[in-house]
Amino acid sequence: MTAHRAARPAADRLVWEAGSRLTPRDRWLLAMLAEHQVLTGAQITQLAYTNPRTAQSRLALLHGLDVLDRARHYYGPRTGPYHYTLGPTGARLLAAERGTTLADLGYRRDHLLTLLNSPRLAHLVGTNGLFTALAHTSRTLPEKEGLTAWWPETRAAAMWGQFIRPDGYGTWHTAHRRLDFHVEYDTGTEPLTRVLAKLPGYARLATASGIPSPLLIWLPTAGREAHLRARLAASSSHGAVPVVTASPTPTSPDDEPGDLAGARTVWLPLDATRRATLHQLAERYGTLTTPTHDPDDDPPGDRDAPFPRPPADQPLPHPEHTTTTTAIPGNVQSTRLRGFPGQQIIPGKAR
């Protein structure tokens, strides 16, 4: 028997085992990683857990089952955070759950590993971190309030690519209003003229759709934010689109990590002098919703992306009472529980 043939049954057995051990939160995480490509361990903790130790333990287990892949950068005497992507077992399970193939899912393990050593990584992780902060804050709100949609660049470009290619799109609901917004995440690596050149596209989209959705621009420093605002004040290229800027705050509350800054009172509309939270922006720029409005009735595009809050985990029932059989790509069937829908890279090791 060749090494390849011997490895295949071992991988198949891993799919069987993993499929029976995933919780609803695990399966939600697979969908989020398929949607957003990469999340750090801290981001996953903020999105789905309340205890960092619990998160670390669960992520180590999922990595050991090849449900997740992880790697981190090595900076001399110290290491960076783990970055998590879909692993081969997780991709097979997600494809089976959706009734599709790995190719249709767009999964390529080598592509994701390349991303971890790409200049794009900081931009992608930064954009995801901004939305993670908003999702984390929403976890204390009623289910249908707060961040109710989070689209990555690829999904947004598929919808509005003839006009814009934002780094992200989201919706924020209050009790009576819905705010649709686009995000441009600036890392300071390109001239401000490149940022300004994107604004006419947002103006054209607002004219074509009749909806001037606010554009939120996150900048790396207060100085760069001030320079951009001065350029914007002398330009009308954004048309009727409300432009709102923000940058990291000098200090963070003692009980909150600094990477949650995007959820605080940091957003400054171009025509305002006082900063606001996203909730306050929704009250100012959002559209009224009816008393009986249900976000499930919003356009289908909102429902295609995974909801940015995890389902509550439930105790695992005894498998002999609640098993179903799911076809796994590669002519393997996995028994799973019903309802559980220049830097050196150091691969993570199973524990």
Average per-residue pLDDT in the chain? Answer: 84
pLDDT of 323 over the 60 cut: no
User: Ramachandran region of residue 146, left (φ > 0), alpha (ψ -120 to 50) or beta?
Assistant: left
Q: How many domains does the chain have?
A: 2
Report yes or no: 334 and 93 within 8 Å, Cβ to Cβ. yes
What mean pLDDT do residues 70-88 have?
Answer: 87
CA–CA distance, 130 with 260 (Å, rounded to integer): 7
Q: Are residues 150 and 295 in the same domain?
A: yes
Q: Are residues 166 and 52 in the same domain?
A: no
Q: Flag the least confident range among 66-70, 192-196, 233-237, 339-343.
A: 339-343
Global confidence as pTM: 0.84
What mean pLDDT do residues 168-189 have?
Answer: 97
pLDDT of 325 over the 50 cut: no
User: Which one-letter amino acid corresponds to residue 86?
Assistant: L
Using 50, 70 and 90 to split pLDDT, how confident is the model at 125?
Answer: very high
Give the per-residue pLDDT at 338.
Answer: 31
Report yes or no: 97 and 341 within 8 Å, Cβ to Cβ. yes
Q: Are residues 252 and 316 in the same domain?
A: no
**What kind and span of H or E run contains 133?**
helix 120-138
Give the per-residue pLDDT at 8.
Answer: 60
Structure tokens at 86: 């879909």
Give the per-residue pLDDT at 15.
Answer: 85
Phi, psi of 202 (to 5 degrees): -65, -35
Cβ burial, residue 39 (10 Å; 0-12/13-18/19+): buried
CA–CA distance, 184 with 41 (Å, rounded to integer): 23
Q: Residues near 324 by Cβ (< 8 Å), separated by ≥ 6? A: 335, 336, 337, 338
What pLDDT digit, counting tens, does each position of 147-171 carry?
999 999 999 999 999 999 999 999 9
Domain-located, residue 127: no
Q: Are residues 85 and 204 in the same domain?
A: no
Provide the total of helices (H) and of strands (E) in the chain, helices listed first: 14, 14
What pLDDT digit, counting tens, does each position of 86-104 carry?
999 999 999 999 999 999 9
Using 50, 70 and 90 to split pLDDT, how confident is the model at 337?
Answer: very low
Domain-located, residue 124: no
Q: Are residues 182 and 295 in the same domain?
A: yes
CA–CA distance, 146 with 282 (Å, rounded to integer): 10
CA–CA distance, 268 with 273 (Å, rounded to integer): 7
What mean pLDDT do residues 29-35 have?
Answer: 97
Give the per-residue pLDDT at 140.
Answer: 92
CATH code for position 322? 1.10.10.10
The CA-based dihedral angle spanning residues 110, 75, 43, 28, taken in that order and rounded to the nearest 10 degrees: 20
Domain-located, residue 319: yes
Q: Are residues 15 and 56 in the same domain?
A: yes
Q: Are residues 31 and 90 in the same domain?
A: yes
Q: Are residues 213 and 248 in the same domain?
A: yes
Q: Are residues 207 and 156 in the same domain?
A: yes
DSSP track, 321-334: TSEEEEEETTTEEE
Give the per-residue pLDDT at 224.
Answer: 97
Percent of the chain with pLDDT over 90: 67
Residue closest to 152 by CA, chosen among 164, 135, 166, 162: 166
Report yes or no: 267 and 244 within 8 Å, Cβ to Cβ. yes
Residue 235 or 292, more confident: 235
Residue 273 vs residues 65, 188, 244: alpha-carbon distances, Å: 52, 24, 11
Give the per-residue pLDDT at 61.
Answer: 96
Give the structural domain span for 151: 140-304
Report yes or no: 307 and 31 within 8 Å, Cβ to Cβ. no
